Amino acid sequence: MSRIHLHLLSDSTGETLENIAKAAIGAFENVEAVRHFWPMVRSDVHLDRIMEEIAANPGLVLFTLSNHQLRRRLETRCRALGLPHVAALDSVTDALSNILGQETRNRPGRKHILDEAYFARIEAIQFTIAHDDGVGHENWEEADIVLAGVSRASKTPTSIYLANRGYKTANIPLVIQSPPPPALYSLKHPMVVGLTVSPERLVQIRRNRLLSLNQAPETSYVNLDKVQEELAFARRMFADNGWPVIDMTRRSIEEAAAAIINLFNDRVLAEGA
């Protein structure tokens, strides 16, 4: 069994880059690929921090960086470390062939690897839809990720996006008057992530939601004091349980999902260490 570290750097969510890496690895037999996922790389400071991790776990560096200065900096650092580095639109398969010392084998069954990934994604989507908004908590242990947050904190759209990336995701609304089921605090397999948002932004989102439903926009649901109380309740829960927190105030769904996937991958690597 050959073992290789793959470092995937993207200035966006990295979804395309991750799919390319999966497809290329599928062309080889008996390979354990340890993927290090680095999305949203947009500054020299961020890149320098990543390079420290790459130096500690040398391997193949695959990247999609549109900023030419950042790309040159990455290439220079990789050359200094003697590491192979390839833009994702270059021949990824050729680079893997060189570093692994084997040719790809075009034989029946290779496509089956990709088929399995497809069906796993469909299964993740089905699971996520069936476990939206606190439903099916008795099955949460089967999830990869559980998102928790107050109403309108973008739990459902983030869950669906993660499901499309192949992660079984459940989500639960945090309501002061209705505490979560005890199962939430005893989960072993899933990573629980708290979603939060600024009070002012949340009031705006909720008000727009009520207006879209032709409902009165002046209720306790959009009262700033009540909203702050809800958010404080959620933050205390996150802190008491040591759950990572993603602030959705200025993040798109794609950016939030990329950050969550990064946390998930770090957790998997830590557990395997």
**111 within domain boundaries:** no
Q: In the structure, what pLDDT confidence band is assigned to residue 120 with cuts at 50, 70 and 90?
A: confident
Residue 168 counted as an annotated binding residue:
no
Same domain, residue pair 146 and 223: yes
* 87, 106, 125 - which closes a domain: 106
Task: Answer yes or no: is 151 a known binding residue.
Answer: yes
> Are residues 10 and 97 located together in one domain of the fold?
yes
To the question of whether residue 203 is assigned a binding role by annotation, the answer is: no
Q: Is the pTM of this model over 0.75?
A: no
For residues 200 and 224, the answer to whether their CB atoms sit within 8 Å is yes
Q: In the structure, what pLDDT confidence band is assigned to residue 94 with cuts at 50, 70 and 90?
A: low
Nearest to 21 by CA among 85, 97, 92: 92
| Domain presence at residue 83 | yes
- Whether residue 228 is contained in a domain is answered as yes
* pLDDT tens readout for residues 171-219: 999 999 999 999 999 999 999 999 999 999 999 999 998 988 888 778 8
Here the CATH number for the domain that contains residue 97 is 3.40.50.2300
- Kindly report, residue by residue over 19-70, the tens digit of the pLDDT: 888 888 888 888 888 989 999 999 999 999 999 999 999 999 999 888 889 9
Domains: count for the chain: 2
pLDDT tens for each residue of 125-146: 999 999 999 999 999 999 999 9
The tokens for 185 are 């605090």
Is 267 annotated among the ligand-binding residues? Answer: no
Residues in CB range of 135: below 8 A, 6 or more apart: none
254 and 146 co-located in one domain: yes
Residue matched to tokens 């400071």 = 45
Q: Does residue 92 surpass a pLDDT of 80?
A: no
> What is the reported pLDDT for 214?
85
What's the CA gap between 6 and 4, in Å, rounded? Answer: 6
Asked if residue 251 belongs to a known ligand binding site, the reply is: no
Per-residue pLDDT for 104 more than 60? no
Single out the residue in 59, 78, 106 at which a domain terminates.
106
Question: What is the rounded distance in angstroms from the CA atom of residue 81 to the CA atom of residue 48?
Answer: 13
219 in a known ligand binding site: no
Q: Residue 105 pLDDT > 60, yes or no?
A: no
- Which residue segment(s) compose the domain that 178 sits in? 117-272
Q: How far apart are CA 192 and CA 178, in angstroms?
A: 19
Query: What is the distance between the alpha carbons of residues 238 and 148, in angstroms, rounded to a whole number?
Result: 9
